[in-house]
């Protein structure tokens, strides 16, 4: 029987027994995002001549964060809640040649790890942040999150959410990330292309992927997949009447500016020159 092509990057067997199937609920978007990320990494390994050792996956805590160290056959870290970006910063500064990919959820990146997220974008660290945004706290029982859309019913907002949601893409753009994009799990090829560009980008690449939580939103996964396609609109058409009430998706910004490591190495180079003139 032919196997899924991305299974070569996953740990099917571990000393304690088989790791797969994934622990996620049926139809969870986290598995899809992992699939897209692995497609992107596969393309980079084939086209850019990168090796498996050049990648490191870091995750925090939450549904989405189970993906990294548990299943991936790459170097990976399963870290503290919200602190994935802090650990990823450390990994990057220890070995600036690494391709750091952070798998994080909306609760992990926007709620508890909000400050780490802003400052990672501000420093323009050379890493790729994949934020799986399902608009609620899935692992703890479907409570309202900062990214829950206004009016959505969750377990802690049974009559609808009264708060405005957090627009993570605009936040990342304002904070200074070099590459910011938003897609949904219903845009597979766009997401894969964006992740490839994000990993190749020198600087912070933030990709928000709108995802579905079929269990807590009590909808069939296939229906949610269809709805995600229906409720999103390309960024070009965002101002038009057809975009009313729909979420804009696309590449928000793609700018070239020096990243943290480049600036730091410039200072080191300058000091070395000063030192050599004094000798």
Partner 1 sequence: MNKLHVNPAYCKGCLICVEACPTKAITPCKSINAKGYTLPEEDDMRRCTGCMLCETVCPDFAIAIESDEDQGD
**Residues near partner 1 (CB under 8 A):** 1-7, 10, 20-22, 24-32, 34-36, 39, 185, 188-189, 192, 214, 220-222, 225-226
Burial 204-234 (b: 16+ CB within 10 A, else e): bbbbbbbbbbbbbbebebeebbeebeebbbe
H and E: helices and strands count for the chain: 9, 10
DSSP state of 137: B
By beta-carbon proximity to partner 1, the closer residue of 116 and 182 is 182
Min CB(46)–partner 1 separation in Å:
15
Min CB(195)–partner 1 separation in Å:
12
By beta-carbon proximity to partner 1, the closer residue of 23 and 243 is 23
By beta-carbon proximity to partner 1, the closer residue of 33 and 180 is 33
Q: Are 207 and 254 in contact (CB under 8 A)?
A: no
Min CB(222)–partner 1 separation in Å:
4
Min CB(214)–partner 1 separation in Å:
7
Min CB(260)–partner 1 separation in Å:
33
* DSSP for 30-68, written as a single string: HHHHHHHHHHHHHHHHHHS---GGGEEEEE-SSTGGGHH
Helix or strand run (H / E) with residue 180: strand 179-184
By beta-carbon proximity to partner 1, the closer residue of 32 and 204 is 32
By beta-carbon proximity to partner 1, the closer residue of 72 and 136 is 72
């Amino acid at each position: 029987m032919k196997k899924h092509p991305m299974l070569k990057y996953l740990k099917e067997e571990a000393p304690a027994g088989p790791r797969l199937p994934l622990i996620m609920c049926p139809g969870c978007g986290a598995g899809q995002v992992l699939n897209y990320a692995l497609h992107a990494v596969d393309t980079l390994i084939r086209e850019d001549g990168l090796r498996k050792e050049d990648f490191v996956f870091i995750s925090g805590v939450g549904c989405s964060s189970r993906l990294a160290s548990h299943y991936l056959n790459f170097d990976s870290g399963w870290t503290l809640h919200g602190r994935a970006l802090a650990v990823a910063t450390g990994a990057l500064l220890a070995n600036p040649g690494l391709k750091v990919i952070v798998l994080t959820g909306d609760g992990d990146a926007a709620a508890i790890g909000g400050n780490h997220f802003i400052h990672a974008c501000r420093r323009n660290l050379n890493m790729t942040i994949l934020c799986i945004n399902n608009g609620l706290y899935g692992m703890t029982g479907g409570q309202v999150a900062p990214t829950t859309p206004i009016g959505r019913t969750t377990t802690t907002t049974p009559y609808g959410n009264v708060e405005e949601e957090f627009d993570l893409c605009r936040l990342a753009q304002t904070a200074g990330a070099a590459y910011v994009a938003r897609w949904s799990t219903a845009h597979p090829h766009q997401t894969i292309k964006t992740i490839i560009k994000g990993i190749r980008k020198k600087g912070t690449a933030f990709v928000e992927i709108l995802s579905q939580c079929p269990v807590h939103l009590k909808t069939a996964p296939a229906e949610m997949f269809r709805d995600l396609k229906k409720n999103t609109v390309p960024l070009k058409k965002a101002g038009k009447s057809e975009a009313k009430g729909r979420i804009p998706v696309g590449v928000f910004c793609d700018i070239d500016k020096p990243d943290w490591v480049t600036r730091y190495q410039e200072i080191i180079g300058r000091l070395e020159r000063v030192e050599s003139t004094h000798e």
